Amino acid sequence: MKMLIGGEWVDGEKTIPVRDPFDNSVIDTVPSATAEDIENAIVSAQHGFQVMRKLSVHERSQIMYRTAEYIKARHDEFSEILTRESSKTIREASKEVRRCVNTLIHSAEEAKRIFGQTIPFDSFPGGENKVGYYFRFPIGVILAITPFNDPINLVAHKLGPALAAGNSVILKPATVTPLSALKLAEALLAGGLPPEALQVITGSGEMIGKILVPDERIRMISFTGGLEAGKKIAGMAGIKKVGMELGSNSPVIVWEDADLEPAVESCVSGAFWAAGQNCIGVQRIYIHEKIYEPFKQKFVELTKKYKVGNKMDETTDMGPLITEGEAIRVEKMVNEAVGLGAVCLAGGKRNGSVYDPTVLEKVPENASIHKDEVFGPVVNLYPVKDFDEAIAKANSLPYGLHAAIFTKNVNLAMKAAYNLECGGVIINDSTDYRLDSMPFGGIKNSGLGREGIIFALQEMTEPRVVCFNLPEKI
């Protein structure tokens, strides 16, 4: 496939292979962008912004609706491409494509609700003859940098609100999963998006980032990815808006009154969805000591039933990690924990890029798999006896994206909601729940700002005050 620059599909002298992580076969190739390509993209995006900002709300909204319909009519095609280039099974990919459609429809709807408000200027002496209001306007060229784990819906979460608000976008998709993003760009053009409003650049993230991130013509950076990359971007960005979702190490509390069956099923799914490569995936589970053993038994039993293998098989529960290198990284983290005293209850084995769903207990707090984001199919179990202890342990790491609690006690649920340090508390479901319209983001090392369409629209627009000084009071 080709890059999209200046409304044209552009090849490159050098190309990068896109591989299926399951068998390492080459699916396609994409160009490796040059500095000249990047400059052309910036210039085109500037022109694209001038076009987008002059479109009516109705026109921008209809583009989103038509794009959603285009993807919906080609659901199977989009699902297969997503499955081939990523870690997701065909069932997981199908769900993501449906979510992408919903994200675009919601963007179309929220484009009509970018409201302003009147301002009571006469609330302070000297303002008696003044009337006015504020409205929100698009900010300009937005750089969107997206990860491999949700290669179409996370792209839609950046493009949908940015374009619906009247901005233009330069998109840098993950190097290993660019095809879904390019297909989404194709859909947007088919939906009537002005050709220069969207640039999609493929190639080395480090090289592209070094040029684009500090460029003053870029007015906002929307980044989803790892903490270290986020720190580099923050240090390079200069004076511009920055929104970041940087991952987590999500804790779940399972209290003694919880319904075990749904809690186990939800947490197993939350731990191993997309091979655990999920920023809100379940990583630490704090279980009341009275139910620790039965919870552990049921959890391990269900984990061992997980079918791992061919992503295109509808009966497969979990596919590979995105590369063999990532599987080796997870393997090293597990082996380190076991060497420090952790006990492996299930999994713990690697076959190429596939790492079996793995359950650990007695994980020392100095183990990297306890302290860091694993971003793989590994979950740690811990017994606790006191609710305040559970809250403290859940809050003990420098992350704060999602947390969850299973309990029938509404008072404990409310206590958790107000004391867990994170962007979202999920009650009686795992941390791996996200509605595409809710505010999504974290605190501490989990990021800056919020996504979710209406909240992203606020981030991707600016308020402008209009004040009339009248000759006499009306």
Report the DSSP pairing between strands 250-254 and 282-288.
parallel
* Catalytic member of 279, 421, 422, 459: 279
Q: Please give the single-letter amino acid code of residue 187.
A: A
Every domain of the chain with CATH number 3.40.309.10 lies at: 250-427
Q: Cβ–Cβ contacts within 10 Å for residue 26, how many?
A: 9
Residue 361 Cα distances to 178, 237, 287, 344, 365, angstroms: 37, 41, 11, 7, 11
Closest CA to 3 of 222, 149, 140, 186: 186
Q: HSE on the CB side for 385, CA within 13 Å?
A: 0
pLDDT at 473 (0 to 100): 76
Class of domain 3-247+442-465: alpha beta
pLDDT at 167 (0 to 100): 98
Q: Please give the single-letter amino acid code of residue 210.
A: K
pLDDT at 448 (0 to 100): 94
Task: In whole angstroms, give the CA distance from residue 352 to residue 459.
Answer: 41
Every domain of the chain with CATH number 3.40.605.10 lies at: 3-247+442-465
Phi, psi of 161 (to 5 degrees): -70, -35
170: CB partners within 8 A, 6+ apart:
41, 42, 45, 141, 142, 143, 144, 199, 201, 212, 218
245 is catalytic: yes
* DSSP letter, residue 318: B
Task: In whole angstroms, give the CA distance from residue 448 to residue 440.
Answer: 10
What architecture is the 250-427 domain classified under in CATH? 3-Layer(aba) Sandwich (3.40)
Query: How does pLDDT run across 417-449, given as a tens digit for each residue?
Result: 999 999 999 999 999 999 999 999 999 999 999
pLDDT at 108 (0 to 100): 98
Helices (H), 340-403: 368-371, 387-394
336 is catalytic: no
pLDDT at 472 (0 to 100): 84
Q: Report the number of secondary-structure helices (H) and strands (E) in the chain.
A: 15, 22
Residues of the chain predicted below pLDDT 70:
none
Taking CA 75 as the corner, what is the angle to CA 318 and CA 15, rounded to the nearest 5 degrees? Answer: 75
* Catalytic member of 245, 331, 373, 421: 245
